[in-house]
Each structure stands twice: as structure tokens, then as C-alpha cells.
Homo-oligomer: A and B are copies of this chain.
């Protein structure tokens, strides 16, 4: 059985709804994340600890991209991060902990959704960012590996859930602005709306394995806005 080839790569492309942001640009994203993302009760290690964590995350990402979760080993992460296996086991417990932490870090970026001045414009840009990130093998590698890992690891599944819950809640800012502008009623189900825009793209990438393009992104945004106007996304 051959592994599906997935190129490991680094890119500065930022895509909404996919976890490659901080993940694909570790070094730059780290300081901002450490400064801004600390939640109550969350300890954010700095300095040498932060560098170790980033090195492990980078090794996990390159391992997932090269071999997938089934082929990822603690030996690989130790070799590629320069962190001793004993330390890896002590601090992360094992591979699942390393993958989950890498996903946590992917969510610690400063990405914000587009602000074009109209709801359809914002949703269209969001959808196009998803298309861009999954059309490029380099930016697609990390989110694809995380989504695949979630099938094999409960902890990865939980981390993936947390990542997307937080990412989509950021996307809801575009709906909040639409409500302020009078483009949407205050009782809009913004969580469902932003998910409806991305869903047809994710379906084609990971389930039906069909191509996606900008026209599909635009269709998806237009459909969501039309459904909103018809009252289909009123909060239940």
C-alpha cells in the first residue's frame, strides 16, 4: 500500500477555515500568538520552552506531511526537532499529545476574516481563501494531515474540533458586521451560515474528492447569502 504523496512545504498563504496558518509559518507567528492568545488558566511558555515547542510542532507537521499519522514516530520527531525522546515523552506524553499541541499552536495565529464592506463580499473572500489554501499542495499539506490524523486519534479529533470551532467563531465576525449594517437580522444563526459557505468546498476536497475553484467558492457564498435573505438561517 502506497502512501498518498503529499508535499511538505512552507507558505505564507493564509486560508480561512484551515489550520495551516500558524502551522505553516511557525517562526513568525509564534511571538504574536504568545502575546495575544493566552486564555485564563492557560500557561504560555516563553523563551527556550517556546522554541522547543515550535521545533516539535515543525517536526510533527513535516512528519505528518511526509508520512501521515500512521507513519509518524517519536523517533522521527526527535530526529527532526533535536529534542530528546525522553523529553518528548515527558512533556507531550506521546505522539497524540504532540499532534494535538501542534494543532493548538495552529490556532494561535492572528488571522482575522476579510472585511470588504458587504456580507457577500466577505463570505466570498472566506470561501476563496479555502479554495486557495487547498489548491496549493504546500498549504494543503498540514490541514490535510490534521484532518486525517483525527480519524486515528481521539486527541487529534478533539484538537481538530477545538481548532475549527475557534476558527469559525472568528469567521462569525463578518456576520456580526452584517447585522450592524442591517444586512442580517440579529437572530441570524451565524455559526451555521459561515459553516454553510465552507462546507461544499470541504465536502469536495475530503469526501467526494472532486476539484474546487473560485467559481464554486462564489456560488457557495451566493447560495448562503440567498438562503439567509430567505430566512433559512434564522436561529432555531
Contacts and interface: CB of A to CB of B under 8 A. Distances in A.
A219 B192 CA distance: 9
B208 A203 contact: no
Contact of A152 (B3, B157, B231): B3
Contact of A4 (B4, B154, B192, B227): B154
A79 to B, nearest CB: 18
Interface in A197-236: 198-200, 202-204, 206-210, 215-216, 219-220, 222-227, 229-233, 236
Contact of A148 (B5, B152, B198, B227): B152
B151 A208 contact: no
A68 interface: yes
Given A152-B70, A232-B219, A160 B95 contact: no
A223 B232 contact: yes
Contacts of A96: 1-2
Given A1-B94, A206-B206, A227 B222 contact: yes
Contacts of A161: 208-210
Nearest to A193: B223
17 contacts: A1-B69, A1-B153, A4-B152, A68-B151, A70-B70, A70-B152, A144-B151, A148-B152, A150-B209, A164-B208, A196-B220, A199-B202, A206-B206, A219-B236, A225-B232, A227-B230, A227-B232
Given A144-B151, A150-B206, 12 more contacts: A2-B153, A4-B151, A4-B152, A4-B157, A68-B151, A148-B148, A148-B152, A160-B207, A161-B208, A196-B200, A199-B203, A226-B232
Interface of A: 1-5, 68-70, 94-96, 144, 147-148, 150-154, 157-158, 160-161, 164-165, 168, 189, 192, 195-196, 198-200, 202-204, 206-210, 215-216, 219-220, 222-227, 229-233, 236
